[in-house]
Amino acid sequence: MCHPCYEQINYWAKKEECAKVDAVAKSIGKSRAAFIQEAIDEKIEREGLESSSVNEEPGSSPGTHIGLIT
């Protein structure tokens, strides 16, 4: 079942990369999706790439974060 506030992001990665991500995520008690989302969020913040409209959806409060269902 899809959640109305979320979109799915698909991308292809080498099997070795998936295995590496899965191992690291598991070692810190996170799912693959949670680990990848955290990495994306950290890069956006570190590089100052976040704009005020990126994390907002129509009808949401300003600054509402769109995350992943894990």
Instruction: Of 28, 29, 55, give the one whose Cα is nearest residue 40.
Output: 55
Instruction: Of 7, 10, 37, 44, give the one whose Cα is nearest residue 21.
Output: 37
Residue with the bigger pLDDT between 66 and 37: it is: 37
pLDDT category at 67 given cuts 50, 70, 90 is low
Token pair in block for residue 13: 């990665």
Q: Are 34 and 27 in contact (CB under 8 A)?
A: no
Q: What is the pLDDT at residue 54?
A: 53
Instruction: Of 41, 64, 68, 42, give the one whose Cα is nearest residue 52.
Output: 64
Residues whose CB falls within 8 Å of the CB of residue 67, separated by 6 or more in sequence, listed in order: 37
pLDDT at 62 over 50: no
Domain residue extents for the chain: 13-49+62-70
